[in-house]
Chains A and B, each alone.
Chain A
Amino acid sequence: MKRNAFPLVMLLLVLIFLYLPIVVLTANSFNLSRFGGAWEGFTLKWYAQLLDDRQVWSAFANSLLIATGATLASCLLGTTAALALHRWNSRLQLFHYGLIYTPLVIPEILMGISLLLTFTAVGMDCGLHTILLAHTTFCVSYVTMTVLARLQDFDDSLLEAARDLGAGAWVSFIKVQFPILLPGIISGGLLAFTLSIDDFVITFFVAGPGSSTLPLKVYSMIKHSPKLPVINCLSTVMLALTFALVLASRAFQNLKQPKSLTKGALS
């Protein structure tokens, strides 16, 4: 059947649209010019400046720390939540689902300000710990949804088969369900990690003076500091890192599932 070319053309245009700023950014990180209006020559000097910037690296370390903590906590909370939501169908679970779903659809700024108000109200000083609490909170929903989607594809008769063959509830979960769910959990974890590293709005509201994460640092550099090209370098590096992470997660997923060979003939 003759296929209409229009959708493909649109797809191409959209891809160009999506990548245009990124390409320009990356190109400009090597651009001698300060404002990136025109190409003035190739250079690595902005990268050198980046390496020397203490504050950026400290912010980066904070981001990593918080992201790791938030990922671990939200994976634990999210997996248990997904298992509960999948298994039971009661009013409690309906409320539970609402709790999980709502943070995904409200604007981040609401979560940011509500958490700030809470911390202020209980007299807690804002710092890395409040950022960690905030990040865990919004990550839980993403992990839950990812794992829940995996669970919905999960063949429940496998659990029945395990119990049928003599395994108790816990053993069935550990030996049969968990290994199959693990790629989903890791997937959710990677999602949480990425969201946490990149979060700006919520972090902006609940970070105190003195604690900074990478997005916060980038923002303050944009607003206050003249070191514009360094931001380009930073983002190029972050882009490369993200790219590597995504590739790694893809490779990991393929590793877990052995590729199916051609089906053997009847024997």
Chain B
Amino acid sequence: MPSDFLVFENVTKRFGSLTAVDAVSLNIKKGEFFSLLGPSGCGKTTLLRMLGGFEAPDSGRIYLDGVDITDLPPNLRRVHTIFQNYALFPNMTVWDNIAFSLRVARYPKTEIRKNVDVMLELIKMADHAYKYPSQISGGQKQRVAIARALVDRPQVLLLDEPLAALDLKLRQHMLLELDIIHDQVGITFVYVTHDQGEAMSLSDRIAVMNRGHIEQLDPPAKIYEAPLSGFVAAFIGDTNFLEGTVTEIDGDYCKLAVAGFPNILCFNDKNISVGSPVHLSVRPEKIRVTPTPPPADKDPRINVFRCKVTDIVYQGTYTKYWVQTDSHRISAIKPHSRFLLDQDAITWGDEVYCWWHPDDGYMLEHFTAADADLVQMPPAGYSLPKTPAAQPSPAAS
């Protein structure tokens, strides 16, 4: 198939008793920006290293453009890696670093000079060509690493958490740069990260990994809006989990009995039958919070409930509220699209109305109790002892 440019076929890798990668199969399209996203230990880096040739799979094959590269050593693969700490050769200048792969491949000197200069122009470091890695900044190092890897036109570029070592502002800047470079150069990028923001902003498709297998492989918006499992719903962004049983089916929607709530309506996209258990994921930004009930002209199908505000986190563009009903703690996000200081703010202890449209909740295919633990909850609270501990007598040390 034309889209099978980079193929992992049932790849497994074990380290001792730990299975890092568990029978993973995936296809990456030519020219796409593909991300492997997941918590530490999920196997994403191992997968990347197998692609680079630094680990050998225990079973399974890897194909690049139709060629089986599973047994090829790293130096014979047309795949280059950007390492997390850049791994620039400290005893060589920027120029020599970029020229390295061309020199090893014995390109003629004029070719080398031409290609390296083109690369220096691309990353805008022509003025720093004769500096050593110890003399340039983090962002510059990263650009040099990218240039070094791209200069001999590999088929795939692997990036192993390349922005992890940079501070926030620089990271945001480099995100844009990576995007531009990918568009300009047009080769396949495989990007490993634990940062959802990076993955979602850069990728054409994301593979969310957990404990050695892929939970979901989809474009970013689909991953976010239509998570297949409780893990994906909780790992990416934030969400609320509601557990219930189907009581009635009403056309495209079904009614759920959820503990402590009046009947919940949700969109039935999975053709589920009466009596089946359902796990619903509702993202906080889909839930509206108001001191007054929803206006009468709203869709009658919306789910409404009354609750009390227990925690508030102000974040500038929005405020996150945790509200408490008899049985649940729900988080909701209120964006501040108007000048906030002119308005009456909702505060702790207020009785408010929360409501969301049944179209905006999503039924999960897989859910385990561990997934619920991934959702960030504010702690129950501390209590300090009333008086400080008695002072020790001066004789004690």
Query: A and B touching (C-beta < 8 Å)?
Result: yes
Q: Which residues of A contact B (CB under 8 A)?
A: 155, 157-158, 160-168, 171, 175-176, 179-180, 257-258, 260-261, 263-267
Shortest beta-carbon distance from A258 to chain B in Å: 5
* Interchain CA distance A162-B148 in the complex, whole Å: 11
* Interchain CA distance A265-B88 in the complex, whole Å: 19
* Interchain CA distance A167-B84 in the complex, whole Å: 20
Q: Which residues of B contact A (CB under 8 A)?
A: 52-54, 73-76, 79-81, 83-85, 87-91, 100-101, 104-105, 124-125, 127-128, 132, 134-137, 139-140, 148-149, 152, 170, 173
* Interchain CA distance A7-B68 in the complex, whole Å: 65
Is A166 a contact partner of B140 (Cβ separation < 8 A)? no
When C-beta atoms are compared, the residue in chain B nearest to A165 turns out to be: B101
Between-chain CB contacts (< 8 Å), 17 pairs: A157-B84, A157-B85, A160-B83, A161-B89, A162-B89, A162-B100, A164-B74, A165-B100, A167-B75, A167-B100, A167-B104, A175-B104, A261-B135, A265-B137, A266-B139, A266-B140, A266-B170
Please give, as numbers and ranges, the residues of chain B lying within 8 Å of A176 by CB-CB distance: 89, 91
Is B136 a contact partner of A264 (Cβ separation < 8 A)? yes
* Interchain CA distance A160-B125 in the complex, whole Å: 24
Please give, as numbers and ranges, the residues of chain B lying within 8 Å of A164 by CB-CB distance: 52-54, 74-75, 79-81, 149
Is B137 a contact partner of A266 (Cβ separation < 8 A)? yes
Is B91 a contact partner of A179 (Cβ separation < 8 A)? yes
Please give, as numbers and ranges, the residues of chain A lying within 8 Å of B148 by CB-CB distance: 165
Please give, as numbers and ranges, the residues of chain A lying within 8 Å of B53 by CB-CB distance: 163-164
Please give, as numbers and ranges, the residues of chain B lying within 8 Å of A266 by CB-CB distance: 137, 139-140, 170, 173
* Interchain CA distance A258-B135 in the complex, whole Å: 9
Is A258 a contact partner of B170 (Cβ separation < 8 A)? no
Is B75 a contact partner of A166 (Cβ separation < 8 A)? yes
Is B135 a contact partner of A260 (Cβ separation < 8 A)? yes
* Interchain CA distance A71-B148 in the complex, whole Å: 38
* Interchain CA distance A161-B75 in the complex, whole Å: 9
Is A166 a contact partner of B105 (Cβ separation < 8 A)? yes
Please give, as numbers and ranges, the residues of chain B lying within 8 Å of A160 by CB-CB distance: 54, 74, 81, 83, 87
Interface centre among A163, A164, A260, A263, by most B CB within 10 Å? A164
Is B75 a contact partner of A163 (Cβ separation < 8 A)? yes
* Interchain CA distance A66-B74 in the complex, whole Å: 44
Please give, as numbers and ranges, the residues of chain A lying within 8 Å of B132 by CB-CB distance: 258, 260
* Interchain CA distance A167-B152 in the complex, whole Å: 13
* Interchain CA distance A180-B89 in the complex, whole Å: 9
Is A180 a contact partner of B75 (Cβ separation < 8 A)? no
Please give, as numbers and ranges, the residues of chain A lying within 8 Å of B88 by CB-CB distance: 161
Given known contacts A258-B132, A258-B134, A266-B173, A180 and B90 CB-to-CB distance under 8 angstroms: yes
Known: A161-B88, A166-B104. 15 other contacts (CB 8 A): A155-B87, A157-B83, A158-B89, A164-B53, A164-B74, A164-B79, A164-B80, A166-B152, A175-B104, A176-B91, A257-B134, A260-B132, A263-B137, A266-B139, A266-B173
Shortest beta-carbon distance from B299 to chain A in Å: 49
Please give, as numbers and ranges, the residues of chain A lying within 8 Å of B136 by CB-CB distance: 263-264
Please give, as numbers and ranges, the residues of chain A lying within 8 Å of B79 by CB-CB distance: 164
Is A180 a contact partner of B52 (Cβ separation < 8 A)? no
When C-beta atoms are compared, the residue in chain A nearest to B85 turns out to be: A157
Shortest beta-carbon distance from A87 to chain B in Å: 15
Is B140 a contact partner of A267 (Cβ separation < 8 A)? yes
Shortest beta-carbon distance from B281 to chain A in Å: 39
Closest 7 CB pairs of A and B: A161-B87, A165-B101, A260-B134, A157-B87, A163-B74, A179-B91, A166-B104
Is B91 a contact partner of A166 (Cβ separation < 8 A)? no
Is A165 a contact partner of B104 (Cβ separation < 8 A)? yes
Interface centre among B52, B84, B100, by most A CB within 10 Å? B100
* Interchain CA distance A142-B173 in the complex, whole Å: 48
Please give, as numbers and ranges, the residues of chain A lying within 8 Å of B87 by CB-CB distance: 155, 157-158, 160-161
Please give, as numbers and ranges, the residues of chain B lying within 8 Å of A155 by CB-CB distance: 85, 87
Shortest beta-carbon distance from B139 to chain A in Å: 6
* Interchain CA distance A152-B89 in the complex, whole Å: 17
Please give, as numbers and ranges, the residues of chain A lying within 8 Å of B135 by CB-CB distance: 258, 260-261, 263-264
Shortest beta-carbon distance from A59 to chain B in Å: 40
Is B80 a contact partner of A165 (Cβ separation < 8 A)? yes
